A and B are shown apart, each in its own frame.
Chain A
Amino acid sequence: MSELPGDLLYTSEHEWLRHENDGSVTVGVTDHAQSALGDLVYVELPDVGQDVDSGGDMAVVESVKAASDVYAPIDGAIVAVNEELADDPEKINADPYGDGWIVRIQPSESIDESALMTPDAYQELLDQEEA
């Protein structure tokens, strides 16, 4: 069973989003995703200030096994990236919802939450994938 915090929103690409108090959104990959990827060895981060479109690729996480794109879950601009991942990509394995966060995005418009998943909906997706 992978861990699934109840205060986050999720995507079908196995990413999570957290609303921050300043209106920005923090994004990372889920516990399920890091477990499937295996030991992370490299993370390619976008530049701060870069615009991202929902569904477009914005970062790459590479494990010993494979490279995997990280998609922007919303439209907006990158306001912060987790620089510590450059030297310590395994933070994603150790703490995917905390120290292993990847980027923070300032949304360009109000977020369409119907396009995202609640913890229950994401759990259902995981159950389906495992079945």
Chain B
Amino acid sequence: MGSKTPLYDKHAEAGARIVDFGGWDMPLHYGSQKEEHHAVRKHAGMFDVSHMTIVDLRGERVRDFLRNLLANDVAKLQVHGKALYTCMLNEQGGVIDDLIVYFLGETWFRLIVNAATREKDLAWIRRHAKDYDVEVNERAELAMIAVQGPEARELAATCIDAQWREQALELKLFTGMEAGDLFVARTGYTGEDGWEIVMSAEQAPAIWDQLLATGVAPCGLGARDTLRLEAAMNLYGSDMDESISPLEAGLSWTIAWDPDDRDFIGRGPLEALRVDSTKRRFVGLLLEDKGVLRNHQRVVVEGIGEGEITSGGFSPTIGRSIALARVPAGDYESAHVDVRGKLLNVRIVKTPFVRNGQIRIDI
């Protein structure tokens, strides 16, 4: 028996198939993973993401602290509620976790980190926070629902108190705000528009029911994974971990190199790898043959070398199998993947595969 979110009873009532995810009993799907996937691409779906770890950081020097702790630069966060996606690196430049940081005040930033990495993240953050007199406060009492899809904001707006509703609907991408008891942010992990709503554990079941009543489809971790794969959003533990640099995980765009005198943890090894022409590529693959690409399958690039699929699966939107893979340096546009001893043809494609309901690759 794992930990249960405040919405566990709702999942059980709805007949969800429950699986263990990082020590949490979470819904995998409520009947059909594919239908849940399509609901998010075409209408609106919701995910219980209460297992994720919310950490509030307070202190006079919290901004300085985060400019050292995170590979992206919180100096970019100047507007209240603005969010930034970033990696937190170890001294070797490997990824401890990927996270979102929100600017909620000059002495208050909020981090949302992964559930499976909670303990090591908190230990790492606390260890470094000491030098900056920053208070680290895990908000385990909070719940979170991600409402995603082209109709998500419109439907979810009914849960927001009337006095905040208009402002919430005007939130720019990657920005959040406090709306009474709720914290609403225009973020997500699906490649669709939508909100992530943070609330107290007591409020969560009623808000879930309210969203259900407006026609938002409950969606499980299964659909969450195929949606994020189509959007080419990395999954910690699959696409990167502490032994992998963000530069070999398709996350170069999250590294703030300027100003060049900002000393963030892991910068040294990253600078060395940055100019290393042999560093591995992180690419999208489209399977040209029938079959399904899966995590850890071997990618064979003739005359160059071998790589590995870090996230593979079937894309319900495209109707074919896609994958993210770490492959050798070099110029090539196709490769083979070893699927149960057969070498199948894959094409290297520019990601994302799907964004805002539209297929973005040539098929």
Contacts and interface: CB of A to CB of B under 8 A. Distances in A.
Interface residues of A, number: 12
Given A41-B292, A41-B314, A42-B290, A65 B33 contact: yes
A44 B340 CA distance: 11
Contacts of A39: 32-34
A51 interface: no
B290 A64 contact: no
Contacts of A44: 291, 340
Given A67-B294, A86-B290, A38 B29 contact: yes
B39 to A, nearest CB: 13
A64 B340 contact: no
Interface in B312-326: 313-314, 316, 321
Size band of the interface chain B makes with A: 10 to 19
A39 B17 CA distance: 13
B187 interface: no
Contacts of A60: 340
B314 to A, nearest CB: 4
A38 B33 contact: yes
A66 B222 CA distance: 11
Given A60-B340, A62-B314, A67 B292 contact: yes
Interface string B10-54: 000000010000000000110011100100000000000000000
A62 B291 CA distance: 8
A39 B54 CA distance: 33
Contacts of B226: 64
A64 B316 contact: yes
Contacts of B314: 41-42, 62, 64
Nearest to A36: B17
A64 B222 contact: yes
Interface string A75-92: 000000000001000000
Interface in B268-325: 290-292, 294, 313-314, 316, 321
A42 B33 contact: no
A62 B314 CA distance: 9
Contact of B291 (A42, A64, A66): A42
Contacts of B32: 38-39
A61 to B, nearest CB: 10
Contact of A42 (B28, B222, B292): B292
Interface in A26-83: 38-39, 41-42, 44, 60, 62, 64-67
Interface string A12-28: 00000000000000000
B230 to A, nearest CB: 12
Contacts of A67: 292, 294
A66 B33 CA distance: 12
B294 A65 contact: no
Contacts of B290: 42, 86
B292 A62 contact: yes
A41 B32 CA distance: 12
B16 to A, nearest CB: 12
A64 B316 CA distance: 8
A44 B291 CA distance: 8
Contacts of B34: 39, 64
A67 B316 CA distance: 16
Nearest to B340: A60
Contacts of A65: 28, 33, 222
Nearest to B226: A64
Contacts of A64: 33-34, 37, 222, 226, 313-314, 316
Interface of B: 17, 28-29, 32-34, 37, 222, 226, 290-292, 294, 313-314, 316, 321, 340
19 contacts: A38-B29, A38-B33, A38-B222, A39-B33, A39-B34, A41-B292, A41-B321, A42-B290, A42-B291, A42-B314, A44-B340, A60-B340, A62-B291, A62-B314, A64-B34, A64-B222, A64-B226, A64-B313, A64-B316
The 10 closest A-B pairs by CB, nearest first: A41-B314, A39-B34, A62-B292, A64-B33, A42-B292, A38-B33, A39-B33, A64-B314, A39-B32, A42-B291
Interface of A: 38-39, 41-42, 44, 60, 62, 64-67, 86
Given A38-B17, A62-B291, 5 more contacts: A41-B314, A42-B314, A64-B313, A64-B316, A67-B294
